[in-house]
Amino acid sequence: MSQDVVSLLQQLIRIPSVNPENAPGTDRVGEEKIATFLAGWLESIGAEVILEDIRPGRPNLIARFAPDDGRPRILLGPHLDTVGVGGMMIEPFGGEIRDGKVWGRGASDTKGPMAAMLWALHENREILADLPVAIDFVAFMGEESNQWGSKNFAERYGSKYDFALVGEPTSMQIVHVTKGSLWATLRAAGKAAHSSQPELGENAILKLTRALDLLDHH
């Protein structure tokens, strides 16, 4: 068992969990090893842990400290994977302390927030089962690519939760929404006219530009 949150973060960095998609830069890929480590760590502080393979050998981890008994539930939600390590000038999985910082892939995104969440659970382990709000720890696979883990979890379990606290590097500022995404297909119909009488026609391109301006501002 780690002695403090810093040594826990070092342990997490030293377990490679590089997303295998998008040029990982190493063959030490996938989330299975870190999920297995976390399962044992969380069980040691009283959690009931489930590993659910979303892709072969790439699980989500779900840890619960209280039964599903109707009380409000929130989740602490970091992700297990990191971006690739190609071109890094330091040892990506070293976890060394230098200049007052912990160095390594994932130290910020998101093994740092993960370690903070885990240590908070560790320090409060004696009261978690009896709180008026149930607190779960859910660590997602595949967040640095197609978000397979969070999408699967939201579809299966999202309705059970009232609130989620997600770990991402935000310079210690609370961000109260995520940006989301919008994929829009715009279609506009025009009316052909001779260039000598443009007032008789309708320019479909201009309609689209006005729509883009509306999206940009609102």
Token code pair at residue 157: 């379990």
Domains defined for the chain, CATH in brackets: 5-166 (3.40.630.10), 183-218 (no CATH)
Q: 3-state class of 183 per DSSP?
A: coil
Average pLDDT across each block of 10 residues of the chain; the chain has 218 residues. List them in order.
Answer: 91 98 94 98 98 97 96 97 96 97 97 98 97 98 95 95 92 81 86 93 93 87
Q: Is the pTM of this model over 0.85?
A: no
Q: What is the pLDDT of residue 143?
A: 95
Torsion (CA) 47, 52, 54, 60 in degrees, nearest 10: 10
Question: 134-162 pLDDT, tens per residue?
Answer: 999 999 999 999 999 999 999 999 999 99
CA separation for the pair 114, 85 (Å, rounded): 19
CA separation for the pair 117, 122 (Å, rounded): 9
Q: Which residues contact 36 (CB under 8 A, 6 or more apart)?
A: 51
Q: What is the pLDDT of residue 178?
A: 67
CA separation for the pair 2, 76 (Å, rounded): 20
Q: What is the pLDDT of residue 66?
A: 96
Q: What is the pLDDT of residue 184?
A: 82
